[in-house]
């Protein structure tokens, strides 16, 4: 009994040590690159000694972040950007999935329209912004439309690909067992295409976020993009860099805590990766 208890204690100790190593590894891989970036930043500033108006030090940027947080600018502008990307997603994702499914279910239509979808997918959302301004003016709708465009076509394209890559033998098996076409769609095509759809949403979100920031620079009177553009006119390099950091951190947070778990969970659920 004593030997069994000792062995169990050793296994628990090893388990705790392994978890500590995993935690340290996660810190190194997720935080380490940012520390390396800070070292390069400070190295450039110390050795090249650029004009501090154009290349501020880390402390000035941190001070600017604290300043815009205290006076409410950060909360206001960040919330505006997040609301716009949420509205764009609410429009582009359901419409893109529905259209993608409709096209993907018909092979002839898919083969006809895929080149056109690839064409529009290759045009960045910011290229459409001047035309959207002509159509809608300098309004929030213009920014949301621009972000929606960046999200829409990756969702449509990946949904079509997801539908078409579901093995036909699975569809035939359901029909052979007496299932209707509706059963084929809901029980085979829909779950089988979900991983590709989630990849399209994740990719499209990245395009939409870039388009949104660019549109805010030109159209908006608020938002993270406007924060950077306004700071440029006042030569506030520290605020520009602070805004860039906020943009990157916001997207990283959305991707790591929302989109990536959703994509990985879907892929695991349908057996495309090992648990």
DSSP string, 202-258: HHHHHHHHHHHHHHHHHT-SSSHHHHHHHHHHTT-HHHHHHHHHHHHHHHHHHIIII
41 located within any domain: yes
**Number of structural domains, the chain?**
2
Q: What is the pLDDT of residue 32?
A: 72
43 located within any domain: yes
Q: What is the pLDDT of residue 23?
A: 61
For residue 27, the enclosing domain spans: 1-49
DSSP code of residue 55: S
Q: What is the dihedral of CA 98, 103, 105, 109, to 10 degrees?
A: 170
Higher per-residue confidence, 223 vs 266: 223
Distance between CA atoms of residues 271 and 176, nearest Å: 23
64 and 6 fall within a common domain:
no
176 and 207 fall within a common domain:
yes
78 located within any domain: yes
40 and 68 fall within a common domain:
no
Percent of the chain at pLDDT above 70? 86
CATH code of residue 221 = 1.10.3720.10
173 located within any domain: yes
DSSP code of residue 165: T
Please provide the average confidence, as pLDDT, over all residues in the chain: 85
207 and 257 fall within a common domain:
yes
Which pTM value belongs to this model? 0.83
Distance between CA atoms of residues 229 and 143, nearest Å: 15
Contact 108, 118 (CB under 8 A): no
Mean pLDDT of 115-138: 94
- Write the pLDDT tens digit of every residue in 31-47: 777 778 888 888 887 88
What's the count of helices (H) and strands (E) in the chain, helices before strands? 12, 0
Q: What is the pLDDT of residue 225?
A: 95
pLDDT tier for residue 8 given thresholds of 50, 70 and 90 = low
Higher per-residue confidence, 236 vs 221: 236
43 and 123 fall within a common domain:
no
139 and 249 fall within a common domain:
yes
Distance between CA atoms of residues 175 and 181, nearest Å: 7
45 and 9 fall within a common domain:
yes
Contact 47, 193 (CB under 8 A): no
275 located within any domain: no
pLDDT tier for residue 197 given thresholds of 50, 70 and 90 = very high
3-state secondary structure of 99: helix
């Amino acid at each position: 009994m004593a030997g069994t208890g000792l062995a169990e204690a050793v296994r628990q100790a090893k388990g705790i040590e392994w978890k500590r190593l995993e935690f340290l590894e996660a810190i190194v891989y997720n935080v380490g690159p940012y520390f390396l970036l800070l070292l390069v930043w400070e190295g450039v500033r110390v050795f090249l000694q650029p004009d501090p108006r154009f290349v501020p030090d880390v402390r000035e940027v941190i001070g600017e972040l604290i300043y815009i947080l205290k006076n409410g600018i950060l909360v206001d502008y960040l919330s505006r950007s997040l609301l716009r990307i949420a509205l764009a997603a609410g429009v582009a994702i359901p419409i893109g999935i529905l259209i993608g499914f409709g096209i993907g279910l018909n092979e002839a239509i898919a083969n006809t329209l895929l080149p056109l979808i690839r064409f529009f997918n290759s045009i960045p959302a910011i290229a459409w912004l001047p035309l959207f301004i002509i159509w809608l003016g300098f309004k929030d709708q213009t920014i949301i439309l621009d972000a929606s465009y960046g999200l829409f076509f990756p969702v449509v394209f990946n949904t079509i690909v997801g539908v078409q890559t579901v093995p036909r033998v699975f569809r035939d098996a359901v029909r052979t067992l007496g299932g209707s076409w509706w059963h084929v769609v809901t029980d085979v095509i829909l779950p089988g295409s979900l991983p590709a759809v989630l990849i399209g949403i994740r990719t499209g979100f990245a395009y939409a976020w870039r388009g949104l920031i660019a549109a805010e620079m030109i159209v908006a009177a608020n938002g993270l993009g406007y924060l950077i553009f306004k700071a440029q006119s006042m030569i506030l390099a520290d605020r520009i860099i602070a805004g860039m950091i906020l943009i990157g951190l916001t997207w990283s947070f959305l991707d790591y805590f929302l989109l990536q778990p959703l994509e990985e969970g879907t892929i695991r659920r349908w057996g495309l990766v090992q648990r």
